[in-house]
Amino acid sequence: MIESTFAYRDGHLDVITVTGHAQAKAYGKDIVCAGASTAIIITVNALEQLGLDAKVVSSVEEGHFKLKVKTIDPVVDGLLRNLEHAFIDLYRQYPDFVRYRKEE
């Protein structure tokens, strides 16, 4: 099961945590895990390419992703909300394999 938590502070995304594996299919054939991983990687890469990676602290490891916002920025917030929407879509399409939680 993939567990995702999107925590807000003062109306902005503050901390994102994603843990686990979907285990929807065998390794290498699991489109749920692939979708979650791709959404995370695209977001982290976009932050780096736009020179915004210094505004967040993130760690990506096997089965675990955590991101903490250090400096509020509208582009960072937009990218992170886009990631949140990707996880909402994954949760709606694959509720047996993905959990989504929003904390305010």
Q: Which domain holds residue 50?
A: 2-100
The type of residue at 37 is: S
Higher model confidence: residue 1 or residue 23? 1
60 strand-pairing partners: 65
> pLDDT band at residue 36, thresholds of 50, 70 and 90?
very high
Residue 24 pLDDT > 90: no
Calpha distance 88→83 (Å, rounded): 9
Distance, in Å, from the CA atom of 58 to the CA atom of 94, rounded to the nearest integer, reads: 26
Using alpha carbons only, give the angle 59, 49, 43 rounded to the nearest 5 degrees. 50
Per the structure, how many domains does the chain have? 1
Q: Which of 84, 66, 56 is nearest to 18 (CA)?
A: 66
Question: Averaged over 66-89, what is the pLDDT?
Answer: 98
Instruction: Please report, for the domain that includes residue 30, its CATH number.
Output: 3.30.70.1490
Instruction: Write down the pLDDT at residue 77.
Output: 97
